[in-house]
Structure 1
């Protein structure tokens, strides 16, 4: 269940929805080592794009393809430092968007 899509929030430290800032979530995951597979890597391989119920995330996964990331489910509780546990949701972001449905769709 998608709680909220993440965005880029200007002055996130002063914003009431600061916990939904991409950079803020990425930093939090990075401090715990849950968004990269190799400790010698500089940067992240999993970029969070949506916060899910129970603390999990949807992420763009650049680990397997640096140019065409898949959209993956990141299981927060099962992930550990340099050992993220992911499940592929869609091969591409475009494919993921085509999976979304509006509540108003009949």
Structure 2
């Protein structure tokens, strides 16, 4: 996969930053995603097209982990900032503590690429959360890949 190197959002998250977020989100992130975000925090991909359910999607930017999103000009791409805006549309469980769908990239048209932790017994699937079709406690998620590693292998230009 190719990344616009100058688009990486600094500072890069430390292992401590990522563990703090995992605790807050009540999930264990896949090691491939942890490695990715530790190197390409919030980057714009050059290799940015993938297909789910016979529809092509384009990644505008991966989301990032920032210790202080308010003091960063790209803070709107912080995962916690995005979660605060759409979290009631990412689950069908009003009593949920943590996350079931974790947005990891913004897609052209307002949708988000997400890790799905709905089945906590398996590693998270990767797919598309549809913003126009989702409503409060009624998310529309299209599973595309069984893992983040499989997702990365299917990106094209």
The verdict on a shared fold, with TM-score over 0.5 as the criterion, is yes
Alpha-carbon separation, structure 1, partners of 2:95 and 2:109:
29
Aligned partner of 1:76 among 111, 128, 131: 131
- Paired residues for 1:24-63 under 5 Å: 24-30=81-87, 33-63=88-118
What count of residue pairs does the alignment treat as equivalent?
100
Alpha-carbon separation, structure 2, partners of 1:97 and 1:79:
25
Residue 100 (1) aligns with residue 155 (2): yes
- TM superposition outliers: structure 1 runs of 4+ over 2 Å: 64-67
Structure 1 residue 65, shift from structure 2 partner: 3.6
Aligned partner of 2:119 among 64, 89, 93: 64
Structure 1 residue 66, shift from structure 2 partner: 4.6
Alpha-carbon separation, structure 2, partners of 1:64 and 1:37:
13
5+ residue gaps, structure 2, are 1-57
Give the SS at the match of 1:43. Answer: coil
Which residue is equivalent to 1:19? 76
Structure 1 residue 44, shift from structure 2 partner: 1.4
Residue 6 (1) aligns with residue 63 (2): yes
What TM-score do you get using the length of structure 2 for normalisation? 0.60
Q: CA RMSD in A?
A: 1.3
What TM-score do you get using the length of structure 1 for normalisation? 0.86
Alpha-carbon separation, structure 2, partners of 1:66 and 1:54:
32
Alpha-carbon separation, structure 2, partners of 1:51 and 1:43:
20
